[in-house]
Structure 1
Amino acid sequence: MRRLFFFLPALGLALLSGLVHAAVGFAEIPGTAGDGPVTVFYPSSGEARPMRRGPFTLDVAAEGMPVRGNGRLIVISHGSGGAPWVHADLARSFVDAGFIVAMPEHKADNYKDTSNPGPGSWAMRPAEVSRAIDAVARDARLAPLLELDKVGMYGMSAGGHTALSLAGGRWSPAAFARHCEANLEGDFQSCVGLITRLTGSWFDGPRKWGALFVIRRRFADDTPQAHDDPRIAAVVAGVPASADFDMASLAAPRVPLGLITAHEDRWLIPRYHSDRVLAACLPRCELIADLPTGGHGALLSPLPPGLTGLIGDMLNDPPGFDRAALMPEVNRKTTAFFSTHLLR
């Protein structure tokens, strides 16, 4: 028996050593039910090489042979108009810890197609996450390496809305409209996106009138929206869109819920969004990281280069935000949260 106790730590170290030296594999697998592709990052025995995707260079083993990690999957839900590449650093942190990572392409609200952002997309996204799990479960290379009874789910911005839905939150399009009617000027970008902005000129009156006209006509449905996937066992919401949630539904999340907040977020103003979630769910949720100088784009890593205009104002790092010093630790804490709740 004594020899066994010496042997087990040695075996664990040997397995960990093999995983540490694994490359980050990369593949795109078909979605289901007409969904777009699911991008997958995973531990691989292949050789990592630079790969270009848009303005990003990823050091990955493209189509490399998967190797066994810790047996768990994490799904990442991108933000509005988002792409997999802006979460590559977090995905690498997950893979280094042994996780396989799947990123669905949310219909009509991704970098290829931005025709239906906001509540229209929010209503579809949770089911798209479930179907991404199904897609991984059908993949002949990945499925044998996984147990899908305990899946993690991470979402940022609009993906954070998805995360809160999968943690048990309920919302409705009409609740979004009511929020915008009451707080249009204070939370303007949340209500209208990046179509326009308030400038302090006389044009602001017509802008606000036009925004409310469209919002009232499009978002009148008061039916509560909810989606439950029993496979999802831990959730992290980063700078989530959340003003339209019934906060009572988040007072006792159905699974462990972690939050990441950024005080300088000018797209989803914290007092209307993440602060309200924390006030509702603490102490039954966990504040994983709080970024006093972080903006809305803090969790995009790598951050898209050369952003200008309104999107640059919303996503570029505010003065004083030390991305290089702060974000590796945020990724480490996020990875540790999932390790704690999925590997026990």
Structure 2
Amino acid sequence: MRRSSSSFFFLFLAFFCSWAQASMGLAELPAAPGDGPVTVFYPSSDAAQPTRRARFTLEVAAEGTPVPGNGRLVVISHGSGGAPWVHADIARSLVETGFVVAMPEHKADNYKDDSDPGPDSWTIRPAEVSRAIDAVVRDPRFAPLLRLDKVGMYGMSAGGHTALSLAGGRWSPAAFARHCEANLVNDFQSCVGLVTRLTGSPLDDIKKWTALFVIRRRFGDDAVAREHTDPRIAAIVAGVPSSADFDMGSLADPRVPLGLITARQDRWLIPRFHSDRVLAACLPRCELIAEMPTGGHGALLSPPPPGLSGLIGDMLDDPPGFDRPNVLQDVNKKTTAFFRTHLLP
């Protein structure tokens, strides 16, 4: 018995060391019919090198050889018009703990094609997350390294909407329209995105009329609640989620452990209409992982997109006084700890 225990210990130590000393690998799984590609970050035995992706340079082992980690997968759902690269730092925190991280490219709501954000995208995103899980485990490099009885899911902004849907939340396009009818001025960017903003000029009345006309025409007649769950997903984190269109009663008892991250200076998704309502509905059956008092809507984008200007810069750039390096390191550490607590044996 003593020899067996000793052998087990050294075997465990060998596996631990293989990913604890690994670099972060990067692979891009080709798009399946009807879907975009899936980006995968994972522990790799190959050396990291500066690698250019879009406007970002990442220190990764591109197409590096995977090594065994902790056996668990976390799927990340990006925000509207988003990309995998702006979530590389939370991916790195997870990979350093042994997780494999997969990021689907959401159809018509990504950095290559942002032609159809909002409720149309929110309807299909949860199933895209499920198919991303399928894509990873079809790949012979990753399938032997993963157990799928406990998968994690993280989403930010529109990805946070996806996260709440997968946690059991029900929402409807009609509820989105009702919210915007009641709160258009106070939650304007949530309702119209980055098409325009209110400036206090005489044109504001035209902008408001046009916004409500489009919203009512596209979403007002549909009262069917949307929901999608995946039994493989066992823990979820929603960061600054879009959530004004949810039936909050459906989030009172999340189907899996649910963590929230909030940013008090968020001017795109005003907390009182979004994350605060979710917390009021689900506490104490959910967990506030982190609250960023000086964080704006783009606080969780890490690394942040460079060179933003105009309205998108106003919405995503850091507010004055936001200590990005220290705050994000703490938030990523707490988020990783949440998944470690709920996904590891």
Q: TM-score, normalised by structure 1?
A: 0.97
In structure 2, distance between residues paired with 1:114 and 1:281: 32
Counterpart of 2:291? Answer: 290
Counterpart of 2:148? Answer: 148
Asked whether the equivalents of residues 18 and 69 of structure 2 are also in contact (C-alpha less than 8 Å), the reply is no
Residue pairs, 1:178-257, within 5 angstroms: 178-220=178-220, 221-257=222-258
Query: Offset at 1:5?
Result: 6.2
Amino acid in the other structure paired with 1:139:
D
Asked whether the equivalents of residues 18 and 67 of structure 2 are also in contact (C-alpha less than 8 Å), the reply is no
Counterpart of 2:173? Answer: 173
Q: Tell which deviates more after alignment, 223-232 or 8-17.
A: 8-17
Query: Offset at 1:11?
Result: 5.0
Asked whether the equivalents of residues 19 and 98 of structure 1 are also in contact (C-alpha less than 8 Å), the reply is yes
Counterpart of 1:307? Answer: 308
SS at match of 2:289: strand
Give the aligned length: 344
SS at match of 1:50: strand
In structure 2, distance between residues paired with 1:151 and 1:222: 31
SS at match of 2:68: coil
Query: Offset at 1:30?
Result: 2.1
Amino acid in the other structure paired with 1:331:
N
Q: Any gaps of 5 or more consecutive residues in structure 1?
A: none
Counterpart of 1:96? Answer: 96
In structure 2, distance between residues paired with 1:275 and 1:268: 11
Amino acid in the other structure paired with 2:208:
K
Asked whether the equivalents of residues 72 and 151 of structure 2 are also in contact (C-alpha less than 8 Å), the reply is yes
Amino acid in the other structure paired with 2:162:
T
Amino acid in the other structure paired with 1:193:
G
Counterpart of 1:319? Answer: 320
Asked whether the equivalents of residues 43 and 67 of structure 2 are also in contact (C-alpha less than 8 Å), the reply is yes
In structure 1, distance between residues paired with 2:18 and 2:101: 19
SS at match of 1:337: helix
1:127-158 CA-to-partner distances (Å, cap 9, x unmatched) read 00000011111101111111112110000000
Does 2:134 align with 1:134? yes
SS at match of 1:16: helix
SS at match of 2:60: strand
Amino acid in the other structure paired with 1:323:
R
Asked whether the equivalents of residues 39 and 104 of structure 2 are also in contact (C-alpha less than 8 Å), the reply is yes
Asked whether the equivalents of residues 158 and 240 of structure 1 are also in contact (C-alpha less than 8 Å), the reply is yes
When the two chains are superposed, the root-mean-square deviation of aligned CA atoms in Å is 1.3
In structure 2, distance between residues paired with 1:9 and 1:65: 25
In structure 2, distance between residues paired with 1:4 and 1:239: 48
Asked whether the equivalents of residues 15 and 68 of structure 2 are also in contact (C-alpha less than 8 Å), the reply is no
Asked whether the equivalents of residues 32 and 131 of structure 1 are also in contact (C-alpha less than 8 Å), the reply is no
Does 2:85 align with 1:85? yes
SS at match of 2:79: coil
Query: Offset at 1:10?
Result: 5.6
SS at match of 1:215: helix
SS at match of 1:321: coil
SS at match of 2:102: strand
In structure 2, distance between residues paired with 1:13 and 1:58: 29
Query: Offset at 1:32?
Result: 2.9
1:231-269 CA-to-partner distances (Å, cap 9, x unmatched) read 111100000000000000000000000000000000000
SS at match of 2:108: coil
SS at match of 1:179: helix
Query: Offset at 1:47?
Result: 1.5
In structure 2, distance between residues paired with 1:57 and 1:300: 15
Does 2:55 align with 1:55? yes
Does 2:335 align with 1:340? no
Q: TM-score, normalised by structure 2?
A: 0.97
In structure 2, distance between residues paired with 1:219 and 1:275: 24
SS at match of 1:278: helix
1:93-141 CA-to-partner distances (Å, cap 9, x unmatched) read 1110000000000000000001100001000100000000111111011
In structure 2, distance between residues paired with 1:305 and 1:339: 31
Amino acid in the other structure paired with 2:216:
R
SS at match of 2:237: strand
Query: Offset at 1:7?
Result: 6.4
Asked whether the equivalents of residues 25 and 41 of structure 2 are also in contact (C-alpha less than 8 Å), the reply is yes
Counterpart of 2:46? Answer: 46
Question: How high is the sequence identity, in percent, across the aligned residues?
Answer: 76
